[in-house]
Structure 1
Amino acid sequence: MSSNPMQNNVRPSKKMTSITHHIAVQISLAKAKVYLKTDLLLFILLNAGWVYMKELEVIGNFDFLGRNRSFYSETGHIGELCYRVFSTDGKMLMSVDFFTVFFRITVFVAILFAMQMIGLLLSLPVVFGKARRTLRPIREIAEKADELNRLAFSEDKFRLIEDAIENADPEGTINFNDRDLLGIEQAVNHLIERLQDSYRQQARFVNDASHELRTPIAVIRGYADMLERWGRTDEKVLDESILAISNEVENMNRLVEQLLFLARGDSGKTVLQKENILLNELMKEIYEESFMIDEEHPYKFRDASELITIEADRTLLKQAVRILVDNAAKYTNKNDEIILGVGRTDDDRPYMMVQDTGIGMTQNDVEHMFERFYRADEARSFQGTGLGLSIAKWIVDRHGGHFEVVSRTELGTRIMIVLS
């Protein structure tokens, strides 16, 4: 039995429309329940308020525990309902009509609830529209899935896909030249583009790492040759070689640790251990440590006017800030000031700041400063691997934050880590 193509085309839309109606009705019912509970509470509060004000008016004060109260009708008719108050010895202190105010409060709350229901009914199209916009991506996915389900591939189309993939240019794209396969063609080309980008990044990373490791290895080899030739007899050459080899090994160890950190991060093996931390306290701790470690620069701390609490990995976030502080100390002249700060931006986002008066950077250097192994020309005379800022960016990215950098050559640099 054959199916009607038109029915197949509208089936997902009909299902999604039904779901949209259901969601809109559920939202409206939830609002109606909230209105009902709120109005009942208002009804009780209005009656209680009238009772309180009436006792103040007639008796002169209100004593909740020291009096007995009752609602009474001599004929049993609700229209003659009275509110009575007695002292603890049985003396009647007040007897006033209650039905009139009860009736008025009831009518007022009923009218309010009716107006709320009318407003709710009038807002149904708006609620339905919001639900439809929210479900639009799901509707599109359902329609695409239904379209793929109804698409009958012939053997020729399968062979066309197979031949195009087998004969594809590694540096190019795939073209099936078939309208029915346009969606698959775009998806495959997008995948190829991502694979090519990943391969280029990996190749660049390996080449840069090899280049950075080549220099210390060459230095170690050179001093090893010196030791072999003259180190046994020349004590000066021996001491110089041992010191140089030790320094290069330390540099290589630092480089390898940074490479491993980035490799673990890229592979998803570094998991953030988030907790609630006080940002002021973290920055004050980094400031005090910098003040003790670095005796060549005066440090200043600018605290926020409030306590700022965020959810973050304390260890990794501290590592990111320490990288910025170490760079500031490295590129700032002796006795020049370095400022650490914490606060909130104009749009109320928390930030941590490191500001120096060092050599600064050009705009081009700022645009590339977080790339792996990138080092500005002015910075090449200073010792470093070019990976520190890449690690800091990885950490900040995983916290959903970003950097704001202002730098001028010969004036200094201000870097802010802005968090969400």
Structure 2
Amino acid sequence: MNKKANSTKKVTSIAIKLNAVFVRKLFFKFLVIDVFLILFLISTWCIDAEISFYGKFVPDAKRSLDFFPIESSTYKVVWDNGKTMIKNASGYIYIVHRVITAIAIIEGLSVLKEIIFGTIKIRRTLRPLDEIAETASRLSNMTFDEEKFQNLEEAISKISPDSSDEKIYTGDSELRGLEEAINNLLERMRDSYRQQARFVSDASHELRTPISVIQGYANMLDRWGKEDESVLNESIAAIKSESDNMKNLVEQLLFLARGINGKTQISCKELLLNDMINEVLEESKMIDKNHIYEYNNSEKIIVYGDIGLLKQAARILIENAVKYTDTNEVIILKTGVNEKGEPYFSIQDNGIGMDEEDIPHIFERFFRADTARGRKNGGTGLGLSIAKWIIDGHKGYFSVLSRKGIGTRITIFLPKPK
């Protein structure tokens, strides 16, 4: 109880000191404002009086202002040509005096209010810190039961990290919060382990397929390719194609691994989204002559991002649209700003589309919606995962609209420029 009283006294003492510093600063701030206000009001009146009398303001004229007594205060100006102005300033000085007095009363009441209530307000602000300090002090004085922690250690040692349903349970209500924290950590670790295992398994499967194809054609070459030129040409073409696929897959795996490990840096700078999408559009038209490209441009849109990585994300969406859109069909690119002020660009096709239940999974590594969107379209299953990593790194997000047999529109929203 005495410790709590001492703690309260300390907090009160700190609050009084802080309030004294604040009141002192407030007083001097009001004083400086009042001085500047007086100087401004009097200077404005003097200059106006000179202009009214002489027609202009002459900086080199000799001036004097007699304030006291206020009833007979005058402002005197003597110009180089001998012309003299003596103007009664008592009325204006009296008005300034009344205005400054009223302001000073208001300022004085503000200072008085802070003197009386400021300490209470600061104590209220410091209360959470006081409670934290009190809790820390209480915890430091607690006596822990060593047997409880031995029970917790034994429970932890019995847990298998690979098991999906095992959890720590000691039956002690005082350790329940610690148990929940450890169990939540275990669940996150297991989920990470499952994702890693699935990724390794999928990567192994994806790499095994082109290797098997290459091996098959190599065996065919060994048997018949030496004599049959058609077999030789077919085998060479297939081996080159699968080698390219495997190279692309390995490069994309390395890109994702570097990104996850923080080795791929995002270098952001200001850029025009319209120009960037237009460049990607021209590249696509040059590479792909089998589809019709349309670009719905908008006013100039400035974004802040890594132009190289954003282009890569746009190319990935266009490549996906090309794979699943028939020859001579239209692919539409669009830029704009939504009602929240967020800039965006979208890629729309009228290809095969996707089922609604597949949409949440399209950014998962190696995910393919169905056999129609499989290997025969030349994809590795990593493109959209890479695009998502890029856009997540820019603090953006995706919107996906797709209907089976109608087409797909994927929109990338970027943060509103500050």
Instruction: Say whether the 8 Å CA contact 1:24–1:124 is kept in structure 2.
Output: yes
**More displaced stretch, 237-246 vs 317-326:** 317-326
**More displaced stretch, 348-357 vs 240-249:** 348-357
Instruction: Name the structure 1 match of 2:406.
Output: 411
Where in structure 2 are there 5+ consecutive unaligned residues?
none
**More displaced stretch, 245-254 vs 21-30:** 21-30
Instruction: Say whether the 8 Å CA contact 1:69–1:83 is kept in structure 2.
Output: no
Matched, 1:292 2:283: no
Q: For the residues of structure 1 that align with 2:221 and 2:327, how far apart are their CA atoms?
A: 36
Matched, 1:303 2:300: no
Q: Give the secondary-structure state (helix, strand or coil) at the position aligned to 2:81.
A: coil
Which of 293, 308, 313 is 1:315 aligned to? 308
Instruction: Name the structure 2 match of 1:353.
Output: 346
Matches within 5 A, 1:204-215: 204-215=198-209
Instruction: Name the structure 1 match of 2:72.
Output: 80
For residues 33-58 of structure 1, give each alpha carbon's deviation from its aligned partner in whole angstroms, at most 9, with x where no partner exists. Answer: 777666665555444444455455x3
Q: For the residues of structure 2 that align with 1:279 and 1:259, how far apart are their CA atoms?
A: 28
Instruction: Say whether the 8 Å CA contact 1:404–1:416 is kept in structure 2.
Output: yes
Which of 66, 78, 89 is 1:98 aligned to? 89
Over the aligned positions, Cα root-mean-square deviation in angstroms equals 3.6
- Return the offset for 1:200: 0.7
Matches within 5 A, 1:217-236: 217-236=211-230
For residues 384-413 of structure 1, give each alpha carbon's deviation from its aligned partner in whole angstroms, at most 9, with x where no partner exists. Answer: 011111111111111111112222333332
Matched, 1:7 2:3: yes
Report the CA distance shift for 1:298/1:78 in structure 2 as closer, same or farther (over 3 A).
Answer: farther
Q: For the residues of structure 2 that align with 1:250 and 1:387, how far apart are their CA atoms?
A: 15
Which of 166, 188, 193 is 2:187 aligned to? 193
Instruction: Say whether the 8 Å CA contact 1:82–1:97 is kept in structure 2.
Output: yes
Q: For the residues of structure 2 that align with 1:418 and 1:27, how far apart are their CA atoms?
A: 46
Q: For the residues of structure 1 that align with 2:240 and 2:344, how far apart are their CA atoms?
A: 39
**More displaced stretch, 99-108 vs 345-354:** 99-108
Instruction: Name the structure 1 match of 2:393.
Output: 398
Where in structure 1 are there 5+ consecutive unaligned residues?
none
Report the CA distance shift for 1:67/1:10 in structure 2 as closer, same or farther (over 3 A).
Answer: closer
Instruction: Say whether the 8 Å CA contact 2:70–2:93 is kept in structure 1.
Output: no
Instruction: Say whether the 8 Å CA contact 1:20–1:128 is kept in structure 2.
Output: yes
**More displaced stretch, 328-337 vs 239-248:** 328-337
For residues 269-313 of structure 1, give each alpha carbon's deviation from its aligned partner in whole angstroms, at most 9, with x where no partner exists. Answer: 222222233333322322332233322333333334244142x22
Q: For the residues of structure 1 that align with 2:123 and 2:404, how far apart are their CA atoms?
A: 54
- Return the offset for 1:236: 0.9
Q: For the residues of structure 1 that align with 2:122 and 2:45, how far apart are their CA atoms?
A: 41
For residues 70-122 of structure 1, give each alpha carbon's deviation from its aligned partner in whole angstroms, at most 9, with x where no partner exists. Answer: 2322x964553333455442323x44333543443454355446546756848
- Return the offset for 1:155: 2.9
Q: For the residues of structure 2 that align with 1:130 and 1:281, how far apart are their CA atoms?
A: 54
Instruction: Say whether the 8 Å CA contact 2:75–2:88 is kept in structure 1.
Output: yes
For residues 119-168 of structure 1, give each alpha carbon's deviation from its aligned partner in whole angstroms, at most 9, with x where no partner exists. Answer: 68489699759956xx95x7776566545433433331232122111112
Q: For the residues of structure 2 that align with 1:208 and 1:367, how far apart are their CA atoms?
A: 19
- Return the offset for 1:365: 2.1
Matches within 5 A, 1:9-408: 43-55=38-50, 58-59=52-53, 61=55, 63-65=56-58, 68=61, 70-73=63-66, 77=69, 79-92=71-84, 94-105=85-96, 107-109=98-100, 111-112=102-103, 115=106, 121=113, 131=125, 145-146=136-137, 148-169=139-160, 170-171=163-164, 172-310=166-304, 312-377=305-370, 378-380=372-374, 381-408=376-403
Instruction: Say whether the 8 Å CA contact 1:298–1:338 is kept in structure 2.
Output: yes
Report the CA distance shift for 1:304/1:150 in structure 2 as closer, same or farther (over 3 A).
Answer: farther
Q: For the residues of structure 1 that align with 2:13 and 2:387, how far apart are their CA atoms?
A: 49
- Letter in structure 2 aligned against 1:90: G
- Letter in structure 1 aligned against 2:367: Y
For residues 189-221 of structure 1, give each alpha carbon's deviation from its aligned partner in whole angstroms, at most 9, with x where no partner exists. Answer: 121111111101101111111121121111111
Q: Give the secondary-structure state (helix, strand or coil) at the position aligned to 2:412.
A: strand
Report the CA distance shift for 1:345/1:159 in structure 2 as closer, same or farther (over 3 A).
Answer: same
For residues 235-259 of structure 1, give each alpha carbon's deviation from its aligned partner in whole angstroms, at most 9, with x where no partner exists. Answer: 1111110110111011111111111
Instruction: Say whether the 8 Å CA contact 1:23–1:131 is kept in structure 2.
Output: no
For residues 312-350 of structure 1, give each alpha carbon's deviation from its aligned partner in whole angstroms, at most 9, with x where no partner exists. Answer: 222222211221122222222333332323332211122
Question: Alignment identity in percent?
Answer: 42
Query: TM-score, normalization: structure 1?
Result: 0.82
Report the CA distance shift for 1:192/1:236 in structure 2 as closer, same or farther (over 3 A).
Answer: same
- Return the offset for 1:29: 7.6
Q: For the residues of structure 1 that align with 2:22 and 2:408, how far apart are their CA atoms?
A: 52
Q: Give the secondary-structure state (helix, strand or coil) at the position aligned to 1:371.
A: coil
Report the CA distance shift for 1:393/1:76 in structure 2 as closer, same or farther (over 3 A).
Answer: same
